[in-house]
Structure 1
Amino acid sequence: MCRFRNCGIGALLNTGWPVDSYSKHSVLCSILCIKAGIKGKNNRKSKGSEIMSINEKTELSKGVNLHFLKTEKFKTNMISLVLRLPLCRETATRAALVPRVLKRGTEKYPTLADISKKAEELYGASISAGAMKKGDNQLIVFTVQFVSDSFISGTITNEVADLLAEFVLNPKTVDGGFDREFVKQEKTNLKNFIDGLINDKKAYAAARCNEVMFEGDPYGICEYGYVEDLEDIDEKNLYDFYKTMIKSSAVEVFASGSFDAGKIKTALEQKFGAALGDRCAKSVKSGLAVREDGIEVKRVTEEMPTSQSKLVMGFNCGIEPTSREYYALMMFSCIFGGSPFSKLFNNVREKLSLAYYVFSALDRQKSCMKISAGIEADKFGAAYDEIMLQLEKMKTGDFTENEITSAKKYLATGMGSIKDSMGATEDFYMGQILLGSNETIDSLTECLNAVSRDEIQAAANAVQLDTVYFLKGVGSSED
């Protein structure tokens, strides 16, 4: 889950790249830098330019875009290949299962031991794959991270491109299908993962609110799929789906770090250009969450053995995510519930002790907002009323200039922290691609700084309650 989910930055990174590219990669880099004889405690260099924006965009083939994010800030480089599929109930489970199977073995590296050995030869390169959701799109992301050539003798760029291509394009097959044992084992692993989602009650409640709020909408579909769909999947039909997915999906490739752009492009063209071929697939433009007049608020209460109840409230905003008004919506959310100084935190939690936690988070792709709170079951009514009271205060302009200034500083710091992670930066620009926007991290920050009080109040008045989901704790089980 996105590490920015409790603040206004969640408006941009609502799900997060499947790779935790900074915390994990710092550990990875400490290891591989020792192997390569490189001095340094983590993945970041002491000096160097920051990742600012997509420096260059080119094509590996028609419809297969390559984006360069050049920076001297890190000791490693990262290449990510993203397949963009429309979120669909009939295909979500298969799409989520495919990367799990692909990670198990390729034609050249048929076992996990073979993969591990090759990764060690590449100075401890790491490769990962997974499914995520952005708006009405299901993204299948393959990522390889490797030490920059400037820290080793020679170059490993071509070998890294070959390793990534092996995972994406050359899976291990048996008799015209995936390896049967791979599929069997990964079906079990995916089932256990989906079943285990309920163990995180905060995330589970947010997901259930999302399902209720977006029933009948692609955004209400779980990007990890559904247990009941796994039974009909086998090594043959999953392989057929994989081939269709590779052939028809829109593709974005990101190359982040310190590298020779020409060499990276040549290496990727050789491995992916002809193999992926030309395509005319387009990403799905997410429909905005807009509430029709006269429609009643959806209210759902479910009981579960848990010591802490969870309240999640879903709001439609209906503000175009690439418009100036959306920056005001981000400012509104930060002051209202997306910061340590927010009205929800100070009143619902601190002053009235109605919640263990409470925060708001935006989803820019859908222009919606969710408020999440951990509460005692008997405080549901009081917590709900206070949340709505604080929202009404925002709508009437009851917020201070100091709160506006603090929100601008807080969001600027959060936006700046995106640059501390190649994965977070790629995720940001993937979001911009889906929105059809050329916005950069810095330009967004400038727009936030220009938001006025009247614009914030107008954004508050665009927010409409759509769904109230209450996960009522009826026991003392641990959360």
Structure 2
Amino acid sequence: MDNIGIIKTSKFKNNAISLVVPVSLEENVTGYNVLAQVLKRGTKSFHSSSEIARYLQDMYGANFDIMLSKIGNKLFVIFYVSFMDNRFTLYKEDLWDKAIHLLNELIYHPLLKEDDFEEEIIAQEILNHRLYIESIYDDKGHYSMNRVMELGLHDSYRIPEYGTILELDKIDRKVLMDLWEELKGKEAFCYASGNIKNEEEVLEKVSSLKILSNRKNGHDLSSSEKRDFNRESGEVFEKMKINQGKMSLLYNTNNSIFHGDYFALVLFNSIFGGGAHSKLFNEVREKHSLAYSIYSSFDKFAGVMTIGAGTDFKNFRKAKELIDEEIGKMKKGEFSQEDIEVARTKVISSLNAMSDSIFNTSNYLIALRVFGIDYTIGQVIDGLKEVTKERIMNVAENLEFICAHYLDGEDKDGEHERA
């Protein structure tokens, strides 16, 4: 089955199964967040989260979770279970079957009352998710970054992975039951990781996860890099009771893992704003003291880049001008070969470091598999080694500013003066 991958490694005591069900960001993201928490509350065989915990304890302290992550135009519903390899179990028990049984239970046999989710559990999880969204709203940097996405995009990529309060208010038992029925019929992808000596045997076991037999839905996942930008949104100032201003900028990279020069984009971002070695950090923060924090990041599946900064209200304009100046320098090639090698070393080191985590490695590879990308981590590293200065300059040249969101403070005299 081409939707199942194997990662062989003997460096850990644990094996793991990472199962991903991609859903569209237009399919009620908020509802899937609540559904994930409801599914964790119990199953037909395990009548509560406590019984699930006891089952995991009997598996020598296995771990499981249901997580959600926005990757390109998709929301990944991730079922993950990690369990001890039989080299370390007391009686050399093989725990693959028990892990697979738990996953099938969670997906196909959730805890129901008269063929429906329990109202009390739903109410609790809706409240919990409301509090979670409100806590993110309280993180002003995160809030500003979400606002710049809302302002600068017309398509579904503007939707945050945790959803919205507006959507949350519409969730009830029927909505969740419908989402659960849809989830069971979707295509899924899986990686089995760990000390796997008999690959065929593990593949046969993992193939018993019923959801992996679903047919492909025919949707061209590789088309998900297409963006519908709102180029009319410009610069938006918003006031709030805060002590430190927040600046969020949105760019169209005109590059992604699907088209253009992805490998050069990776190194461009590292040199430009990807850490303490970057131009933004050293010029905007260290040299000119215009920001308390500043960074750039990009989504390789979506083709967008963002810049986030914490800065005094009066420095918004100066900081933006300096950011524009640094982009101009990148276009002109005003960065050294040493800058390239430092960036290349840091990115490759982070890729190599993924091998220290089964979870990180499987999730990295499964995202590529979902979107039909055949790269291995080794091939990505090889691609990065071939990037030249001219290719990085070309990436900078293709960068397009879309919009900005500035979160400003309030004072008694009205608006702050923005330098």
Q: TM-score, normalised by structure 2?
A: 0.92
- Does structure 1 residue 171 correspond to structure 2 residue 110? yes
Q: Structure 1 pair 323/91, CA: closer, same or farther in 2 (3 Å)?
A: closer
Among 313, 320, 330, the alignment partner of 2:266 is 330
Shift of 1:296: 4.4
Among 57, 69, 82, the alignment partner of 1:120 is 57
1:470 aligned partner: 406
Question: Helix, strand or coil for the counterpart of 2:356?
Answer: coil
1:261 aligned partner: 199
Trace 1:18-417 onto structure 2 (pairs within 5 A).
58=1, 65-88=3-26, 91-152=28-89, 153-214=92-153, 216-247=154-185, 249-259=186-196, 260-270=198-208, 272-273=209-210, 277-282=213-218, 284=221, 285-289=223-227, 295-296=231-232, 298-323=234-259, 325-417=261-353
Question: Helix, strand or coil for the counterpart of 2:261?
Answer: helix
2:267–2:384 contact (8 Å) kept in structure 1: yes
Q: Structure 1 pair 470/98, CA: closer, same or farther in 2 (3 Å)?
A: same
Gaps in structure 1 of 5+ consecutive residues: 1-57, 60-64
Matches of 2:256 and 2:20 in 1, distance apart?
25
CA displacement 1:108-133 (0-9 Å, x = unmatched): 00112211111110101111002221
Matches of 1:436 and 1:396 in 2, distance apart?
35
Shift of 1:472: 1.4
Matches of 1:394 and 1:233 in 2, distance apart?
47
Counterpart of 1:453 in structure 2: which amino acid?
K
Matches of 1:267 and 1:443 in 2, distance apart?
29
Counterpart of 2:284 in structure 1: which amino acid?
V
Among 373, 377, 382, the alignment partner of 1:446 is 382
Question: Helix, strand or coil for the counterpart of 1:459?
Answer: helix
Shift of 1:245: 2.0
Shift of 1:229: 2.5
Shift of 1:157: 1.6
Question: After alignment, is 410-419 or 351-360 more displaced?
Answer: 410-419
Shift of 1:96: 1.7
CA displacement 1:412-437 (0-9 Å, x = unmatched): 11211222211211221123124421
2:155–2:229 contact (8 Å) kept in structure 1: no
Identity of aligned residues (%): 29
Question: Helix, strand or coil for the counterpart of 2:225?
Answer: coil
2:354–2:361 contact (8 Å) kept in structure 1: yes
Matches of 2:178 and 2:400 in 1, distance apart?
44
2:415 aligned partner: none
- Does structure 1 residue 437 correspond to structure 2 residue 373? yes
Matches of 2:310 and 2:341 in 1, distance apart?
28
1:142–1:168 contact (8 Å) kept in structure 2: no
CA displacement 1:219-263 (0-9 Å, x = unmatched): 01122222223333222331132112211x220011111134333
Question: After alignment, is 129-138 or 236-245 more displaced?
Answer: 236-245
Matches of 2:57 and 2:389 in 1, distance apart?
55
- Does structure 1 residue 459 correspond to structure 2 residue 395? yes
Matches of 1:365 and 1:287 in 2, distance apart?
6
Question: Helix, strand or coil for the counterpart of 1:142?
Answer: strand
Question: Helix, strand or coil for the counterpart of 1:108?
Answer: coil
Matches of 2:369 and 2:236 in 1, distance apart?
35
Matches of 1:432 and 1:200 in 2, distance apart?
30
CA displacement 1:110-162 (0-9 Å, x = unmatched): 11221111111010111100222111111111111111111112222211111
2:291–2:311 contact (8 Å) kept in structure 1: yes
Counterpart of 1:436 in structure 2: which amino acid?
G
Question: Helix, strand or coil for the counterpart of 1:250?
Answer: coil
2:279–2:326 contact (8 Å) kept in structure 1: yes
Counterpart of 1:244 in structure 2: which amino acid?
E
Matches of 2:387 and 2:213 in 1, distance apart?
44
Matches of 2:377 and 2:207 in 1, distance apart?
28
Gaps in structure 2 of 5+ consecutive residues: 412-419
Matches of 2:192 and 2:379 in 1, distance apart?
21
Q: Size of the alignment, in residue pairs? A: 406
1:85–1:250 contact (8 Å) kept in structure 2: no
**Cα RMSD, aligned residues only:** 1.9
Q: Structure 1 pair 218/422, CA: closer, same or farther in 2 (3 Å)?
A: same
Shift of 1:376: 0.6
Counterpart of 2:65 in structure 1: which amino acid?
S
1:250–1:282 contact (8 Å) kept in structure 2: no
2:245–2:310 contact (8 Å) kept in structure 1: yes
Matches of 1:437 and 1:240 in 2, distance apart?
31
